[in-house]
Every structure is written in structure tokens, then in C-alpha cells.
Chain A
């Protein structure tokens, strides 16, 4: 899953996958502005067949937070 997230982030921000690490955030990736953030959310939702709510979206601003929120979400989905 980590790798798939990185693939999505790399495609949206138009950078190489190797440039994405745990600490990647709008501070380390120039292209990560509010518009690209929206595209990132849409791309992740499509890739993982989930839907984030407002609060998640605001918090998903590092690779780490994206990973943990997504993981949480997918586990919940499995239970239901």
C-alpha cells in the first residue's frame, strides 16, 4: 500500500517516486499546493476505492498522515 500511495503522489505532483518519503509534505514538495491537494485526494479515492471526509482531507498533509488515515479507513471498510 505504501508504494501505491507513493505512485499516486508522484503522478499527481509530477515528481519521481524516489523523491517521496515519510516526511514528504507541502513544505518539501513545491507542487503540493491546495489545487494539487484536491487532485491528490481524488486520485487516492479512485485508486483505493474509498471516500474521505472533510476532516481527513485537511489532515492528510504528509505522507505519514495519508498512510495512517488511509490504512485506518480501509480497515474500517473491511469490517463493515
Chain B
């Protein structure tokens, strides 16, 4: 898309977006003004209501005091303009001068990072000497300054700070296309429109992930997708997926990529037209098969059409259809899914097989997971236990009978530091049972836990089939003087929906707040495309509506009026 078209489209799309504004501030010691609309548009087409503002030119240090409350800070700290003309001056410096410059910038970095320690998310571009030095065989002062400052940055990164390796962006489009020196000497503008497009594309997965918009599952077809050949025709011994054969090595690499993803919490699934017994036998016994049963969250191996199968997969995994990526080799299946399930991201195995691993890697950004947690590793096991529960469910007359049979145990934690990564991740990922859909990073949650004005409630659940892990969170703002509390966030992971756990959790929260002598509690429902199911949640708890509009409702509850549900079939424990 041309820049002019992008400017127009960006203006038009802004009126179609709902929800909270996502405030981005770009701090830079060079002019980077074209990034505004390019980054805004890149995010707005993904449904994020992004607004980009700039700090003052070459005021990164000073501005780090001002913009703490943005959702995202991006820092362009350009090496060549740390002092004017460093790209040529540095190489005339003696050792002492180099050292003193490095130590000055290090202390500026420390100051900036400490000012942003409570900001949700900060992206800092790594220092780069590439555009002025790519032709040099020997390392010079300019290179070593970049190297030393990057080493320092790496030591300073914390939960909320992500370093962006802009050399990778430059490598993708070339040095020549990344920079426009015409404006560098006169106006201190260095990068081209093309660079900003590529840069926005490069960082997009981080922002999508922190807004709960990453993909969650990667679903593979089998024949000529996980292995070379057709199992039903070439047979157990005829298919190829190891480095012993020319094409097999490609599939070994693809399976290894999938295996790595499954260990990072991405759900790996199979959706294939095959005989289920053949595929099971292969997965269980074939020595070349890298992906084993324990890595696979779901399998739909049958002769049904793939639209129906993918819908069933989404339903059973309890994820949105738009959270799935599907890979197949045939035009027929790829076009069929694109046509009838356009929400699914569909990838096709390229006809030039050697391109396959690269295509897969290029598209992995949409599966980016900003906060990996221990829960990710257990997720596949949990989805399997879930399916056992589903089959039990069919044998009961009433839901209550079923819930009684589950032997549910709820452990509730208040202000528990160990749960910070998981709680942040839940705020980023949970879309359905989420009253306000506010996204928080680990640093935000840490801040709440340390603050006297917040109580952070979380729970884990188990039943006789196994553990669900940490699956619920409520963030409550407390005003002790006025004896009031406001429920900022109340959410549950979709894998524990339908067990009335939310009511047991709420009983606990109310009794906890009652002990703090809180008398009034305020709640809010902010409508999104996905949280319809909780639109009357506060009503069901006895809250009174005090404000009601199309996209938001506000509630009040007098603690004295609250009627606990006291569900006998859920055992509640406080702490470990």
C-alpha cells in the first residue's frame, strides 16, 4: 500500500474502532515522524485503537519523566546522533573519550529505564552501527560503542522492556532502502517510509500479544504437510519425515518447529482426512515422528469436511475460530477454508518444498506470546483432561449432579507475587469471561500487588480429573477511607467456565472485603465483540445498575445486601 493511500485509510478506519484507546508514545533523538500513521494503521487494521504521539526531538531522557502512563513507549535512540555526527567523530576518539561517552549514555539509559519501570510496555531499539559501517571489515570505535551500549541494555531489561533488534529490520529490506541520507544531514531524519512499514510489521506481534490478539493454535493437515507422502497409499514405511531422505529433512524441520511451539504453549492440532487408526499408529510408534501424542492438543482425523472439523476443534479447545492457524498442502482445502471460515489464518505448503520451513517461520509472528508462563507447559495435558470431563458430562441428568461428581476444589490467593506472569497473561489472553477486558503487563500486576490501594485475587482449580491451574483473576481497587471498593477486572479462563466457580470466588471476595469493612462495591461491564456471555453477570450477583449505555454498564452493591451462594459442591481454600 502506498503511503498516501495509507494516510487516507488510517483516517477512515479510526472511526470504525471501539474500545479503549491504545496510547503509544515514540521518543527519539532523530526525526521519525512518518512512523505515526504507519504504525497506527498497522495496528488499527488488527482492531487496536492505536494513537501515536511523539516526545520532543532529542528529549528521550527528559521525556521519560513525562510519558509514564502510556500503554506503550517506543524509543529510537539513534547511535549516530547520540552526539551530532558520532558516525565520523567516534573513530577519531581516543580510548578515554570513548569510555566517557559510553559511561554518559549508560547513565542516561539507567535513568530512562528507571523512570519507565512501572510503564506497561517499553520497546527500545538496540543501538546499531550497521547503516554507516556495513562495508567495514574491521570493527571500529563506532561499532564498539554500539556493542558496549547494547550489552548494557541487555543487562537492564526487565519484565516490561523488550529490545528490538533493528538490524533485522534493515536486513530484510537492505541498508539502501532503509535510510534516506538526504534528510539526515539537513533535518536529522534517517529512515524511509519502507523502513517504518517493515519496523511496524516487525514489532506488531508484541503489541498484538499484549492486546490479547495473538493466535493460540496451529493446526496441521497430515499428508504432505507433516510428512512427505500419503499415509493411506505410501504406507507406514513409505512416508518421509527424517533427514535420511532429501524431502524428509524438510518435514523433520517443520515438525521440530511445531514441537518447539508446543513447548511454548501454542496448541498443536491435527485435522486430516485419513484413517484414524493409521495416524494413531504412526504417532505412537514411528521412530521419525517428532510430534508425539503428548504434544498434540487435539486430533480430528476422519473423513468429514475440514470446515466442520476446524469448527469442532475451536469449540473443544474453547478458543475463537479467529485464534487458529491452519496449514494444508492442497489448493482445494486451502481455498475451501478461506472461503467458508475466513476468520482462520490459512497457510499453504509451498510447491517448492525448500521454501516450507521459511514460510512457516515468517508466519510465526502471529503466534507470539509476550509472557510465557508455567501454565503454558501444562496446557496440553489440561485440554486432554477437559475432554474426559466432557464425556462424563453426558451421563448426568442435571448440571448440578455433574458438578457434584467433579469434586471441585478452589484455592484462592491474595496478592501472591509468584502468580504475576500468569495473571498478566490472563489479562492479555482472556476475551470471553472478562468483564472489562483491560490488558495488563507483568509490571502492572506487580505494581497492583505492591500497592495498598489494590487487592489482587486469583484462584486455581482442581477436580478429580486433574488440575486446571491458575484460571481466575479479580483486581479490586480499595478506598479504605470511604469504605468503597471497585472491581477493575474480573475474569476467568474459558477452560473453567460452566462450573459456577465464579460464584464461589465472588463469595470469597465479598467476605474478604467485608473483613476490611468495605460497605459498597462498584462493578463495570465494558462490551466487546467477545464478552457477551458476562453481560448480566453483575445482575446475577444482585448488583444494582447505576449507569447503562450501549457499550458499558456500571453497578453498585451494598455488601450488607449480598446473598452468598454458598455452593456446597465447591470446596474453597485460602492460600496454599
Give chain A's interface residues, CB within 8 Å of chain B: 7-8, 11-12, 14, 34-36, 38-39, 42-43, 46-47, 53-54, 57
Contact = CB atoms under 8 A, between A and B. Distances in A.
Interface string B163-206: 00000000000000000101100110100110000000000000
Interface string B1-22: 0111101100100000000000
B2 A35 contact: no
B33 interface: yes
Given A35-B31, A38-B31, A38-B33, A43 B189 contact: no
Contacts of A54: 182, 186
A57 B183 CA distance: 10
Max chain A C-beta neighbours (<10 A), residue from B4, B5, B8, B187: B4
A38 B34 CA distance: 9
A53 B322 CA distance: 47
Contacts of B183: 38
Interface string B115-130: 0000000000000000
18 contacts: A11-B7, A14-B7, A34-B187, A35-B31, A36-B33, A38-B33, A38-B183, A38-B187, A39-B3, A39-B34, A42-B180, A42-B192, A42-B193, A43-B2, A43-B4, A43-B193, A46-B4, A47-B2
A14 B12 CA distance: 11
A34 B188 CA distance: 12
B33 A12 contact: no
Nearest to A57: B182
Contact of B3 (A14, A36, A42, A57): A42
Interface of B is mostly: helix
Nearest to B183: A38
A8 B5 CA distance: 8
A42 B7 contact: no
Q: Which 6 A-B pairs have the closest CB atoms?
A: A11-B7, A35-B33, A11-B4, A8-B4, A43-B3, A43-B4
Contacts of B189: 38
B3 A46 contact: yes
Contacts of B2: 43, 46-47
A7 B7 CA distance: 11
Interface of A is mostly: helix
A46 B3 CA distance: 7
Given A8-B4, A42-B34, 4 more contacts: A12-B7, A14-B11, A35-B31, A38-B183
A46 B194 CA distance: 10
A11 B7 CA distance: 6
Nearest to B36: A39
Nearest to B34: A39
A50 to B, nearest CB: 13
B473 to A, nearest CB: 41
A39 B192 CA distance: 10
B39 to A, nearest CB: 14
A78 B113 CA distance: 53
A38 B31 CA distance: 10
Contacts of A36: 33
A35 B34 CA distance: 9
Contact of A47 (B4, B180, B182, B192): B4
B185 to A, nearest CB: 9
Contact of A12 (B4, B180, B182): B4
B197 to A, nearest CB: 11
Contacts of A35: 31, 33
B182 A46 contact: no
Nearest to B194: A46
Nearest to B2: A46
A79 B189 CA distance: 32
Contacts of A39: 3, 33-34
Contacts of B7: 11-12, 14, 43
A11 B189 CA distance: 21
Contacts of A7: 4
A55 to B, nearest CB: 11
A34 B187 CA distance: 9
A43 B2 CA distance: 8
A47 B183 CA distance: 19
A54 to B, nearest CB: 6
B79 to A, nearest CB: 21
Contacts of A14: 7, 11
Contact of A46 (B11, B31, B187, B193): B193
Contacts of A47: 2-4
Interface string B256-276: 000000000000000000000
A43 B6 CA distance: 10
A35 B7 CA distance: 15
Contacts of B11: 11, 14
A11 B8 contact: yes
A53 B187 CA distance: 14
Contacts of B187: 34, 38
A8 B193 CA distance: 15
B494 to A, nearest CB: 42
B561 to A, nearest CB: 52
A46 B180 CA distance: 13
Contacts of B180: 42
Nearest to A10: B8
Nearest to B5: A11
Contacts of A46: 2-4, 193
Contacts of B3: 39, 42-43, 46-47
Interface in B335-356: none
Nearest to B186: A54
Contacts of B8: 11
Contacts of A42: 3, 34, 180, 192-193
A20 to B, nearest CB: 13
A68 B8 CA distance: 25
Nearest to B8: A11
